[in-house]
Amino acid sequence: MNVKRYIAEDVSGAMEQVRAELGRDALLLNTRKIRRPGLFGFLQKPLVEVVAAYEKTGPPSAAPRRETTPSADPAERLVAVPQGGGDQKLSDLSNKLDSLSLTLGALVGRLQTKDRIQDRLPPEVEPLVLALTENEVHEEFARKLGREVGEIQARQEESEDPREIMEQLLKQYLGEPGPIKLKKYKRTVAILVGPTGVGKTTTLAKLAAIYALNHHARVGVITTDTYRVAAVEQLKTYAEILRVPLTVAYSNEELTDALREYEQCDIVFIDTAGKSPNDPTLESEVLSLVRAADADEVHLVLSATTSFAGCLNIINTYSFLKDFKLLFTKLDETPSWGMLLNLKFLTERTVSYIAAGQTVPDDIEVMNPGKIAKHLLNK
């Protein structure tokens, strides 16, 4: 058997291609939505990719064309398997074909990337661009960076190492980090917001520990996450270990009272309940919290394990806030840090910290553009 990929505007378009080329006996292995090409392709309606398998009796174009009956429901075809064989065998075969199609897809994708890159880029820049795309930097963005490296080289009398130039460019695109800055004569209030389970509370404990232990600041902690008993307990434990005061605020009034109590602190951290970006109450609740807190710093916490499109959606959802920084967690759970650069480039939001592990307080650091640039160029 062989496998072939078809890409179309929608499932029925892809199905028509499959039927026309492979006939009705083709076995459909997989269907998924894929992003359109182009730097902003993800903002448009996605394309549909269908992977089909066919008997290897000749090239696909030689496969017998059959008369097509009025179009069958594509969904039915997606689950259809040939009759008559043992279920286990079919499932084994399907699994094998699935993994084969994935491998082929990845290989074809890589070759296509290489082809396109070879069209335009100096040969010594190619591997750098490939490394970026392998680290999930958006392909078009990576090529743009490659072209910029080429242009810089062309302007130089004595050509610098392209890797050095690329590193510098990446650092520029990542921008300056935005860690919390303590105000000189006034208390600073920092609030952490974001989706559920991304690591807000853990990150808050890490930051509270760093400011209390390393900066010797007077730290206060307030949590407004009163939805779960466990959430309060979690923060209580950290506060006790760090010996910093903790207040649980059940309303905006209580939050204002608690902030008054912490007037003498150098910094107050406010933890919030996780909110799905689809929650209709998100905007009003977060806005009123941020206002009641009169926050100096709002950090939108994002997990690096969330998809690029997912993160972009979350960032857009929070655009009702005038100003916020991005704080990435769980970078230890993904080898590809390209998403961070993509999001920085597209949203132009400052990145404050990155967290890569569960240990309080060690697994967090101020976003370090040089380190990330190096990471992005490593295959």
Candidates 30, 113, 135, 201: give the one binding Mg ion (CB under 5 A). Answer: 201
Which residue, 201 or 306, has its beta carbon nearer to ligand GTP? Answer: 201
Could you say whether residue 306 binds ligand GTP (CB under 6 A)? Answer: no
Answer yes or no whether residue 203 interacts with Mg ion by CB under 5 A.
Answer: no
Q: How far is the CB of 196 from Mg ion (least distance, A)?
A: 8
Closer of 141 and 238 to Mg ion (Cβ) = 238
352 binds ligand GTP (CB under 6 A): no
Q: Which stretch binds ligand GTP (CB under 6 A): 5-13, 73-81, 170-178, 195-203?
A: 195-203
Q: How many residues does the chain have?
A: 379
**Omega cis (within 30) before 245:** no
Contacts of 155 (CB under 8 A, 6+ apart): none
* Beta-carbon contacts of residue 192 (< 8 Å; ≥ 6 apart): 200, 203, 204, 269, 270, 271, 272, 299, 301, 327
Pick the closer one to ligand GTP by CB: 4 or 200: 200
Task: Please identify which residue in 357, 368, 371, 374 interacts with ligand GTP, judged by CB under 6 A.
Answer: 357
Nearest alpha carbon to residue 153 among 141, 145, 137, 165: 165
Give the integer Cα–Cα distance in Å for 340 and 200. Answer: 18
CA dist list (Å): 193 to 3, 205, 287? 45, 14, 11
- Going by C-beta distance under 8 Å and a sequence separation of 6 or more, which residues neighbour residue 376? 131, 132, 135, 137, 170, 337, 338, 341
Tell me, by CB under 6 A, how many residues bind ligand GTP.
19
Site stretch for Mg ion (CB under 5 A), options 7-15, 105-113, 154-162, 198-206: 198-206
User: How far is residue 219's CA from residue 213's CA, in Å, rounded to a whole number?
Assistant: 10
Q: Residue 2 and residue 163: Cα distance in Å, rounded?
A: 40
**Element spanning 246, H or E:** strand 246-248
Residues 58 to 97: which contact ligand GTP by CB under 6 A? none
Per CB under 6 A, the list member of 199, 338, 361, 369 interacting with ligand GTP is: 199
Query: What is the footprint of ligand GTP within residues 219-238 (CB under 6 A)?
Result: 225, 231
- Segment 246-305, which members bind ligand GTP (CB under 6 A)? 274
Which residue type sits at 101? Answer: S
The answer to the question of residue 339 lying near ligand GTP (CB under 6 A) is no
- Segment interacting with ligand GTP (CB under 6 A) among 58-66, 120-128, 353-361, 370-378: 353-361
Residues 318-337 that bind ligand GTP (CB under 6 A): 329-330, 332-333
Which residues lie near ligand GTP (CB under 6 A)? 196-202, 225, 231, 274, 329-330, 332-333, 355-358, 363
Q: Which residues bind Mg ion (CB under 5 A)?
A: 200-201
